[in-house]
Amino acid sequence: MTDQRPDPETSAPRRRYLPEDWVGGAAMALLALITFANVVMRYLTNESFAWTEELSVSLMVILTMVAAGGAVLRDRHIRIEAVFIGGSAQRRRRLAILSAIATIVTFLIMFGLGLRLFWDDYRYEVTSPGIGVPQWWYTVWLPVLSLTIALRAMQRLTMAWRAS
């Protein structure tokens, strides 16, 4: 048996922030503030800003994709970890490379198709169903953030590659 005491380091706050953390944290704060303002307004004025729903939902999409990019670099995504724990260093490296490649392929596909989706919304001047602003204001984030996730996965790939 090794050291049996709980390790205080595991619960220490992390020190270095990624750009993704700043955007993700800010989006989280904004989501909470909008939702809270909605509750307060509903009780004070008996009115709800239904239009904020559209804004909140698109913020949630942005939050998801931004945070997913940071999580790629930190290797926090949900997966079956059992295969990593048992194996040799060589096997872990090969599996890490496979994971990175699968992530890159996933989000490059999403980037390409998302770009077309954005382009159609832009070209045909589609407006959003709720507020009536141009739909591409929302859809543009799909290709942009897919690309950032793919780039993070490429960074991960080079890290795994060099770990030999």
Binding site for another protein (CB under 8 A): 1-7, 10-11, 13-14, 17, 21, 24-29, 31-32, 35-36, 38-39, 53, 56-58, 60-61, 63-68, 70-71, 74, 76-84, 95, 98-99, 102-103, 105-106, 109-110, 113-114, 116-117, 139, 142
> What SS3 class is residue 127?
strand
Looking at residue 113, its amino acid is L
Q: How far is the CB of 156 from another protein (least distance, A)?
A: 11
Nearest-approach distance from CB 114 to another protein, in angstroms: 5
Q: What amino acid occupies position 90?
A: Q
**Rounded alpha-carbon distances, angstroms, from residue 98 to 59, 81, 112, 121, 149:** 31, 14, 21, 34, 16
Count of residues making up the chain? 164
Query: Residue 134 forms beta bridges with which residues?
Result: 127
Residue with smaller CB distance to another protein, 57 or 126: 57
Pick 60 or 158: Cβ nearer another protein: 60
Residue (53 or 122) nearer to another protein, CB:
53
Shortest spacing between CB 37 and another protein, in angstroms: 9
Our separate counts of H helices and E strands in the chain read: 6, 0
